[in-house]
Chains A and B, each alone.
Chain A
């Protein structure tokens, strides 16, 4: 170790995760950095068959390999996994890239926003038969809040929950004799969401995008209900999600005597919902070769390096947004020569330009956290300037279209003496 610190226990007796945790204490793991420890090829620190161990902080353990070429290949693959790649940056700029180059899949992640609203809803279409009990408050405090605390760098999150009674799905499930259960086929899933959506509601005050997570307890007459994938096999999670919208999970209580008290196992539910939250944000595990082992982030929901990847993507997206917004504003001002810009709009523009230059400088130095903060400020300022309500009057109702106002006093002077 370069800084001469000592570990309390020799590395060789620790497992990979313990070693990673011990090494984490010695690192200077600033956001955006990546520390790679190369261990000898024959070391027993990594289990048999594993050549790369990706920790849940910002470090990884790599076997040296048979030669420099093998090591280089492993390091290249590791950086592609743990840090940003050309394609992930291109995906962040997806709305500025022409259609043909990226697949339709590239544009589905949530856009970078200053905040997000998360709503958990329990749908009970059959309250006569099922008395459903879900401890959402406890589950949010215990399982969701740690994940949101970790994501609090990215945006502000607000969480609410509701229970909707007599809310039915838009499709009728099919009865399958072999498994004596009801099945929802994959191609009917797109039509499930719409009838429910009208009843979901959203906070009237906030303008942040809403993520809906629905737990559906099917009616007694349609229990148990399973979701089928395209090949007809039942889905183990019994859940599906829609990009930029949220996810739905079907809970399957067994049929028993009425009224059935249903105790929802919030851990199972939250495991699915939090996985869907990761997917909606675009944090997903790509296919890795078997020699890679990735440590599970546990209750925190995501590893530090996954958070870093999200921040890289959002920073780039923010900077691109600011660039196009300010350019478009400048073009607008060029077109309309007699426009008058209010002082506060002008100051927002200056602030946006300064912030975005800051952000680019910080990115060049690799200081991810401050680059992201600067990019957020730049986006806030540029949006405020572009969407300022005063600009509308000047663009669409410029002075040369208003009717002439004729000063009045002249004729009135003659009338007033007549009235007196």
Chain B
């Protein structure tokens, strides 16, 4: 009786373990993101010297994203780009993000896709929705597909429900939400992470209604996002607080890290940021606990070992396509005398032909 009971218990235990590991595998598979590539759209919506910090914000995010593995071909960077070569910049060709000029985020390999007056609401919406004129080069397009995770970072001056573009126009939260819905209709993203660092930033994500979007903002409606530190050498504020602390957080991340989104939500509490950062995850299907930072900021690819090969017939003469040889006999070419310099210099008249 006891033996039967213990045998039954052992069996149950084994079954339980097998079941648990099966469930574990299934759980792992379920919580893994199904993306195969990463894109980033980084937009700085301000111009002019006193908005230095917005350009520094965007460039710092750009550098982090590149460091974690997203290549330039998958980053659409929109900047007014009037900082580095601005006549008021005491250190030309640089954009610094820390006090005492520790880190030049402009560097040697910045690839700006939309610069100066090309940063408009229309171009931004064209990039997102894909309704781009056919003559646009590849580097200016967002060629994402249904397996792409996209990071969208926007910074600049904003208000309750709008974001100002270069002092001449604005984009509203409704337009942004509609643009994301157009993207979803064409399955131009798998998951989208939207980060905004402006005053009253949370108003911009209030109207989203498409699935698989997670949003973070630096301040709530009615609050201003504040800048971090002025630099007395350059004369302007170098960065905004929220992005500064996000970047400090990202410095700890390397391509293999397992840090998840919940940690990103804790970045920059009110004591440091003065404003209250907010986030929105109700449209997102996975639990933020299971979303890795590198799912959006880096580019970790799923790989598989290749176990099959096909067998090719080495000496298949029949398939050998004879490369067309250049059959035209070219006559020897001479370089024609372009200008009779010797005659000109020495005033020798050209020989008259009889």
List residues of chain A with CB under 8 Å of any chain B CB: 95, 99-100, 103-104, 107-108, 111, 137, 141-143, 145-146, 170, 186, 189-195, 197-198, 201-207, 209, 227, 229, 235-237, 239-245, 247, 249, 267, 270-272, 274-276, 278-279, 284-285, 296-299, 301, 324-325, 328, 332, 386-389, 391-393, 395-397
Contact = CB atoms under 8 A, between A and B. Distances in A.
B302 interface: yes
A107 B146 contact: yes
Contact of A204 (B121, B139, B316): B139
Nearest to A102: B34
17 contacts: A108-B147, A111-B145, A170-B255, A191-B69, A201-B73, A237-B305, A237-B307, A241-B304, A243-B36, A272-B309, A275-B309, A275-B310, A296-B310, A298-B312, A299-B316, A328-B182, A332-B182
A193 B301 contact: yes
Contacts of A387: 129-132
Interface string B20-47: 0000000001101010110000000000
Interface stretch (B85-93, B216-224, B318-326): B318-326
B185 interface: yes
B256 A186 contact: no
Interface in B117-152: 121-122, 125-126, 129-133, 137-139, 141, 143, 145-147
A337 to B, nearest CB: 15
B314 interface: yes
Contacts of B139: 204
A239 B29 CA distance: 24
A296 B311 contact: yes
A387 B146 CA distance: 16
B300 A191 contact: yes
B177 to A, nearest CB: 12
Contacts of B311: 271, 296, 298
B231 interface: no
A274 B319 CA distance: 16
A324 B131 contact: no
A340 to B, nearest CB: 16
Nearest to B33: A104
Given A194-B71, A299-B316, A386 B306 contact: no
A108 B37 CA distance: 11
A229 B34 contact: no
A267 B307 contact: no
B331 interface: no
Main secondary structure of the interface of B (DSSP, over half): loop
A57 to B, nearest CB: 17
Contacts of A99: 34, 285
Nearest to B184: A328
A142 B36 contact: no
Interface of B: 29-30, 32, 34, 36-37, 69, 71-73, 121-122, 125-126, 129-133, 137-139, 141, 143, 145-147, 175, 178, 182, 185-187, 255-256, 285, 299-314, 316, 319-321, 323
A284 B137 CA distance: 35
Contacts of B323: 137, 141
A389 B306 contact: no
Contact of A104 (B29, B186, B306): B29
B121 to A, nearest CB: 8
Contacts of B319: 142, 145-146, 299
Nearest to A208: B143
Contacts of A247: 306
A102 B151 CA distance: 25
A306 B233 CA distance: 67
A104 B147 CA distance: 11
Contacts of B310: 271, 274-275, 278, 296-297, 301
A49 B323 CA distance: 46
Given A111-B145, A145-B321, A328-B186, A239 B302 contact: no
A312 to B, nearest CB: 20
Nearest to A94: B146
A202 B73 CA distance: 9
A392 B304 contact: no
A107 B146 CA distance: 9
A244 B122 contact: no
B38 to A, nearest CB: 10
B302 A190 contact: yes
A328 B185 contact: yes
B255 to A, nearest CB: 5
Contact of A141 (B131, B138, B300, B321): B321
Nearest to B143: A207
Nearest to B73: A202
Most central of B141, B185, B310, B312 by chain A CB within 10 Å: B310
Contact of A285 (B143, B303, B308, B313): B308
A389 B255 contact: no
A173 B138 CA distance: 35
Contacts of A242: 36, 301-304
A190 B312 contact: no
A229 B305 contact: yes
Contacts of B301: 190, 193-194, 242, 245
Contacts of A296: 310-311
A395 B178 CA distance: 10
Contacts of A203: 138
Contacts of B122: 392-393, 396-397
A144 to B, nearest CB: 10
Given A279-B308, A389-B133, A245 B36 contact: yes
Given A104-B29, A198-B71, A392-B122, A386 B186 contact: yes
B306 A279 contact: yes
Contacts of A245: 36-37, 301
A301 B309 CA distance: 10
Contact of A194 (B132, B299, B306, B314): B299
A192 B299 CA distance: 11
A143 B312 contact: yes
B137 A392 contact: no
Give the 7 A-B CB pairs with smallest separation, nearest first: A194-B69, A328-B185, A198-B71, A95-B146, A239-B306, A271-B309, A242-B301
Nearest to A244: B36
Contacts of B313: 298-299
Given A190-B300, A388-B131, A396 B138 contact: no
Given A142-B320, A242-B302, A299-B313, A104 B130 contact: no
